[in-house]
Amino acid sequence: MKLSLATRIFLGYAVVLVTFGLVSLFSVTELHRNRLEIRLVSQGYLQLSQDAAELETFHTTQEKDTERLLDEGNVEARRAFIRLARLYFPPLMSQRLTVAQGKAREVLAFAPPSEAPFILDLENRFGEIHSRYRDYGRVAERVFTTLSSPTPDREQVAKASAELRQLETSIGREIRVLRVALANRIRERVDDAEERERTTGVFIIGFSLAAIALGLGATAWSARTLRPMRTLIEGVSRIGKGDYSAQLGVRGDDEVAVLAREFDQMARSLQAREAQIKAQAEALMRAEQLAAVGRISAQIVHEVRNPLSSIGLNVELLQDGLERASFPSDDDAGEVKELLSAVTREVDRLADVTEHYLRMARPPRPDLDPRDVTAVLDGVLDFSREELERAGVEVVRDFDKHTPPVLADEGQLRQVFLNLLRNSREAMPGGGRLTVATRPLERDVEVTIADTGQGMSEETRRHLFEPFYTTKEGGTGLGLAVSQQILQAHGGSLSCQSIPGQGTSFVLRLPRA
């Protein structure tokens, strides 16, 4: 399933936010673990270790007091020591061991499950020491009772004292083992906390860098994805200024790429439409010019053709009269005949001009029938062979043998071909090569008439089919305009391609029969 651009950008930034959220959650979790670890050490193991140290100190003091009691020879002093020991030592020791056991149970309430076995072992050890102190109290009481008599039995005192010292040594060893276990546990927890803190720091830094890299990547990807928007805006601005050649060329399948392709298609459509409108405007201008030519031609026909006919007739009568007239000399007769011949030529030229205007004003509707265009071209080339050979023009016939018939008026088609051949000959005053080719297309037949003459500039080619536009001295500028008009009436077209100094090619297209 294809995701939209907005969805993909949202998902990219959602991944970034989730990554940062996970980093934050990991950091908070590790901080919480460290806090519990600190609480376990500071409020648990350290206090229990202090209690164990106090018990050890108290027990050491008691050992010294017991030793001094046993060595005291004064009965009254010994009795005072006994009273003090009975009053002070057993209750205080019992109270401290009870407090230590209670603290162990409190630590067990907030300690992690992994520490439960050790804390339970501590509680049991405190309980065992407490039990041992109760035994110690009973043995100490026997010693105190024996020593309190005026004449203590030395053998009983020695036996009870040995048992008391043995219990004191055993209890002291258990207290030291307990304190060492607590110290080792505190050191282990501190070392683990430091190692975990270092590991956590490395992980947090690594995850943070990864999240930053992911955020930068998402930002760069978003910027790269949205970069075509600037190109699209520039293209819209260019279209707004009338430049329809703007093409974005954005690749991809997201919304921006699809929009860019639609924009390119719109630009091409607008460009084609502008070219079509321009061509229609040029055609309209030519039609207006042709309409003006028609009106002028009608006036010329009305005002000039009849007088020209009278002048031509009168000149012919004069020529007949000159045949019977006499002149003082042959030179005078020749001069008069040359003048009349010049008048006749000018009258014929003017009649030809009026004929062009008449064709422009009232173009005959073509009689469309299937015609063999290669046969028409052969006939026109054969008719013009002598004229082309005198001009030094080599003719190359490149007719496709599969050229189909076309719908055309043969007379009008011959007129177009003759006009184009004449233009090509005049474009090669020093001779050259004229290539006439045919090529079948899907719906049309293409005829190309190419010469190796002087060619023409772009400015000349742009105005080539406009009425009255000519680059030849004495030309009317109507030959190509009439030829194009004839081909358009046939449903075809006439175009020109030319390179200055290399030649010109006229391309005709006629519909298939």
* DSSP-derived 3-state class of residue 47: helix
* pLDDT digit string, tens, across residues 321-356: 776 666 677 676 777 777 777 777 777 767 766 666
88 vs 339: which has the higher pLDDT: 339
Q: For the whole prediction, is pTM greater than 0.85?
A: no
Residue 126: give the domain boundaries: 5-220
131-140: pLDDT as tens digits = 888 887 787 7
At residue 311's C-alpha, the angle toward residues 308 and 312, to 5°, is 85
Contacts of residue 166, Cβ cutoff 8 Å, sequence gap at least 6: none
Q: Is residue 246 one of the residues assigned to a domain?
A: no
Provide long-range contacts, Cβ within 8 A and 24+ apart, for 211-219. 211/16, 211/19, 211/20, 211/23, 214/15, 214/16, 214/19, 215/16, 215/19, 215/20, 218/12, 218/13, 218/15, 218/16
Token duo for residue 352: 């030809």
On the question of pLDDT at 446 being above 90, the answer is yes
> What's the mean pLDDT in 28-54?
84
Examine the fold and report which residue of 220, 249, 284 is the final residue of a domain before the chain moves on. 220
CATH no. for residue 383? 3.30.565.10
In a domain, residue 335? The reply is no
Instruction: Quote the percentage of the chain above a pLDDT of 90.
Output: 7
Would you state the pLDDT for residue 253?
63
CB proximity list for 142: less than 8 A, separation 6 or greater? 160
In this model, does residue 448 exceed pLDDT 90? Answer: yes
Q: Read off the pLDDT of each residue in 90-110 and give the average, rounded to a whole number.
A: 82
Q: Of 220, 237, 268, at which residue does a domain stop?
A: 220
> What one-character-per-residue DSSP string does 122-147 give?
HHHHHHHHHHHHHHHHHHHHHHHHHH
- pLDDT, mean of residues 306-319: 72
Q: What is the mean pLDDT of residues 168-179?
A: 86
Taking residues 57-72, report their average pLDDT. 78
Q: What's the pLDDT score for residue 211? A: 79
> Considering the domain boundaries, does residue 409 fall inside one?
yes
- Has residue 414 been placed in a domain? yes
Please check whether residue 376 lies inside any domain of the structure: yes
Q: Is residue 396 part of a domain?
A: yes
pLDDT value of position 123: 86
Q: CA 441 to CA 431: how far, in whole Å? A: 32
The CATH number covering residue 166 comes to: 1.20.120
Domain count, the chain: 2
* Closest CA relative to residue 370, chosen from 330, 404, 325: 404
**Residue 23, burial from CB neighbour count under 10 angstroms (0-12, 13-18, 19+):** buried
Question: Tokens at residue 396, please?
Answer: 């190359």
> Is residue 464 classed as helix, strand or coil in its secondary structure?
coil
Q: Which helix (H) or strand (E) holds 43?
A: none
Determine the pLDDT at residue 286: 67
The larger pLDDT score, comparing residue 231 to residue 31, is at 31
